[in-house]
Amino acid sequence: MTLSQEQRAIIEGAIRDIPDFPKPGVIFKDITTILNNAEAYRTLQEHIRDRYQSYNLDYVAGIDARGFIFGAALARDLGVGFVPIRKKGKLPYTTVSEKYVLEYGLDEVEIHIDAFEAKENPRVLLIDDLIATGGTANAAASLISKVGATCVESCFIMGLTFLDGIQKLEEKSPVYSVIEVN
């Protein structure tokens, strides 16, 4: 299921461009403005709910932090559990972690070791706001697999197709971007 032209116009119209952030020459696509636009946020959440209703999901896993906003609401709408994938040191119980490369170093994300134990052969949707180079998303998809679940798809509000993150992640799961930026 893809967006209608009307849905696309509503969502894209709520995205703010910030020139020269985080450095000169870059136009940052700020999706936080979708959140304070009731029509855009509702349109987005209804679209992803409709897309994933038939996927027989057991969980939605959201990446720290904006993936929590979209993922928790989607999990509620689908009647499934929500699992946070957090930055290192933020989860209180036993965790499994995965490191990934940043432009200037390494970072790490974690998941609770028992995040999906309530279901047998759990089916999980991974969600976040944006995929660019794909480091965080790849680490998150690896974590889902490490703790015994299947990542049936990875969903992003925005996909930057001019970078190679989507192609890298497609080696682990199908990828869906609500809005693509070329």
Among 6, 103, 120, 171, the one annotated catalytic: 103
Look up residue 76 and give its two tokens: 């509620």
Q: Which of 12, 39, 51, 66 is the catalytic position?
A: 66
Label residues 21-46 b or e (16+ Cβ within 10 Å = b).
Answer: eeeeeeeebebeebeebeebbebbbe
38-44 contact pairs (CB < 8 A, 24+):
39/10, 39/14, 40/10, 40/11, 40/13, 40/14, 41/14, 43/7, 43/10, 43/11, 44/11, 44/70, 44/157, 44/178
Q: Please confirm, yes or no, whether 39 is among the known catalytic residues.
A: no
Phi, psi of 22 (to 5 degrees): -85, 0
Pairing of strands 95-102, 81-87: unpaired
* DSSP per-residue codes, 122-136: -EEEEEEEEESS-HH
The reply to whether 108 belongs to the active site is: no
* Residues carrying an active site annotation: 66, 103
